[in-house]
Amino acid sequence: MKIVVVGHGMVGHKFLESLEEAGVPVQVTVLCEEPRPAYDRVHLSEFFAGRSAQDLSLVEEGFFQRTGHALMLNARATAIDPHARTVATSTGDVLPYDKLVLATGSYPFVPPVPGKDRPGCFVYRTIEDLEAMRDFAAHCASGVVIGGGLLGLECAKALRDLGLQAHVVEFSPRLMALQVDEAGGRTLRRKIEALGVGVHTSKNTLAIEDGEHSRHRLRFADGTQLETDMLVFSAGIRPRDELARQAGLALGPRGGVAIDNECRTSDPHIHAIGECAAWNGNVYGLVAPGYEMARVVARQLAGQESAFAGAGMSTRLKLLGVDVASIGDAQGATPGSRSCQYSDERRETYKKIVVSGCGRKLLGAVLVGDAAEYGTLLQMALNGIALPAAPEFLILPQADGAARPGLGPDLLPDAAVLCSCNSVTKGQVCGAVREGVAGIGEIKACTKAGTTCGGCVALVTQVMKAEMKKQGLAVDNHVCEHFAHSRQELFHLMKVGRIRTFGELLARHGRGLGCDVCKPVAASIFASCWNDFVLSREHASLQDSNDYFLGNIQKDGTYSVVPRMPGGEVTPDGLMAVAQVAKKYGLYTKVTGGQRVDLFGARVDQLPAIWEELIAAGFESGHAYGKALRTVKSCVGSTWCRYGVGDSAGLAVELENRYKGLRAPHKIKFGVSGCTRECAEAQGKDVGVIATDKGWNLYVCGNGGMKPRHAELLAQDLTKAQLVRLIDRFLMLYVRTADRLQRTSTWRESLEGGLDYLKDVVVNDSLGLAAELEADMQHVVDTYACEWKAAVTNPETRKRFRQFVNTDQPDPHVVFVTERGQIRPARPEERAARAEQQPA
């Protein structure tokens, strides 16, 4: 069977994937107008946030080679001959077909406004459109989007990402008029305006003219005007049905190729799917109905019964970082329906549910500012689940500890569709868990749930966890209430999305403002991925107290200073420099268990001066305050010891200098012993190295802390180069996959497959990640900079190290007493006695 597919967008490619899944033996030719294969238009705005065209691609590597399908890029279908069953193309080819599938999608509607073709006016549809916008925006200060619907607000975000002052112009009296009601529109407008985007509703644009201060001026029917440098039309879409018109196929009443329940057109040899198709007169502008149409046609070609039964317009989006969701009859148009509404103008949230006249059935809902209930409400509407006696409590805030009435995963039938984009049911997710799949990432890979728009991820995760509990499996919690992701998922989201700031992370993957849990987690991941200075303007506010002041805060509010001494090695001059600093600033000194000299009792205002003197003496920050490499403990090894067989001191210095500054989920400690007598206690460290007469043995995941754990042998008889490569891989795998504040020892215990799995990944490269992990570590090594030096040489950063903003006086509450010839913090009774001696 010869099949020709006209259009290779998201729906067209889903049809090809569905053909492969159905096992249909066919010869397929795909015509694609654009210069590149199918890509993700749902997340198109992320192009301006750093994602490349390749990142957005939907075509897995080798897909067309594996399937044998022919893809013709830059090839447009120009005519269809239904009688001869051929398609003529812009390249001069005439392609015969047994079945023709139209997946031509839609085109942006541009209102017939005089001036719409002026230079600097764009549409928002393809990557080429975005590239043209990006190039033009480099010379602009402001941009206007005509259209305040879903695409219009996505486009406004794109303009903001381009660094422009963004405005939205909408003909209707509110934003997203089709999805939200009047009250929801007001809340949405306030939230959008609070983000610095100008909103102009009830505006009928009469003309686009030369501006007085900017390139364009929009003249409105109410006599007002708005100037801008750049203009983008996003006023809706129209189905691309010109081929069907030319071929004499039946059309829908408002355009689009008319199709039946089998997605057949008026010609039984021609199907239409996606935004170009009109089912019962309806044209769907969402990706999920198009995907279902694609699956229906593929199943039919495989000889299976399948029908398209329509689709709801329910959707959940994050527009400019604002949660917006609409379900079913959001406007309450059903006769006899009633609504419950909740509005919080302080938090800028609005929620409404529409229920049937009997009060037992959910017909629709609107959520603005907080869409946490979307999954529950959607499943209640789709599956006809009876509402509780007081349905208003589904959207009302609950007192602490109060249980919210609603929908647990157990109440959902197995046939409930959790992911409408990919038609994944609860039964499929639970079945995957029972077969051993655990973790939302694995569920996505196995079932494809949540891999398209992502709106179902929260509910899929809830169902997955409920089934995991039934199976007696451990369930990981989210980082916090602001991120429905584990630390590992956040790491990959930041890495893949090239996210570099907390604000962008919240906007794309979180909610709320963040907290003391997720901010340090994000800060650690940013440092691991990009190695930016932790006290730069965009990162400083995320740090906990220790990292913010680059020192460990002590019980009396002072700080400790720990200069790095790689491998415990320090010159006499270095020791004298440390002693002089300690004496000058009156600090308590102690040799630590990690072979360092720790200086205690430094006031926050003294820190920059102390660091400057230590830096001048050749020292760097020892990162004793950070979740990072702390120390590499060593013995003197073969250099001095009569039993030593390896230069443990020299290797310890090399390892510490290589991995210094590496941020991780928790602190990391190394040990390097020159022989099996183990004077450096390497087998109680996160990374332990022991010299033998054949090379170096590598031990990992030991711990001498609250829950001691003996390290395990990962590899033996290694050269120094082999050892470093394996440590690189091990550390970066840990950084990528561990939970927040999880030591390597507990991380190892949680690894499915245990030590054998760790050996396969790190030593045998079973996942093919070795080169990537080594490259990531090399980036950290190459971009290392001493944080103390960066802090004291930056005037803005240095301003933070003041005890009070209005005086240079030290903190009078810091009180020391002398003991064993050194200072220590005063005890409460000593502090009280001293206070009594002070004059009034």
State the binding site for [4Fe-4S] cluster: 635, 641, 675, 679
Residue with tokens 């080819």: 93
CA distance 806 to 824: 28
Counting Cα atoms < 13 Å in the Cβ hemisphere of 361 gives 13
Q: Which of 661, 671, 663, 569 is nearest to 618 (CA)?
A: 569
Counting Cα atoms < 13 Å in the Cβ hemisphere of 222 gives 8
CA angle 477/478/480 to nearest 5° reads: 120
Query: With 0-12 CB in 10 A as exposed, 13-18 as middle and 19+ as buried, what is 313?
Result: middle
Residue with tokens 């990537």: 772
Contact 634, 657 (CB under 8 A): no
Give the residue ranges of the annotated binding site.
635, 641, 675, 679
CA distance 825 to 831: 9
Give the residue ranges of the annotated binding site for siroheme.
679
CA distance 327 to 311: 12
Counting Cα atoms < 13 Å in the Cβ hemisphere of 452 gives 25
CA distance 574 to 583: 14
The neighbouring-strand residues paired with 208 are: 218
- Cα–Cα distances in Å, from 508 out to 490, 622, 814? 11, 35, 44
Amino acid at 445: A
Q: Is 320 helix (H, G, I), strand (E, B) or coil?
A: coil
Contact 294, 271 (CB under 8 A): no
- How many residues are there in the chain? 840
CA angle 508/510/512 to nearest 5° reads: 120
- State the maximum Cα–Cα separation within the chain, in Å, rounded to a whole number: 108
User: Residue 88 phi/psi, 5° resolution?
Assistant: -90, 145
CA distance 396 to 394: 6
User: Residues near 506 by Cβ (< 8 Å), separated by ≥ 6?
Assistant: 321, 482, 512, 513, 514
How far apart are the two ends of the chain, measured CA to CA in Å?
Answer: 100
Among positive and negative, which fits the CA dihedral 239, 245, 250, 253?
Answer: positive
Contact 651, 615 (CB under 8 A): no
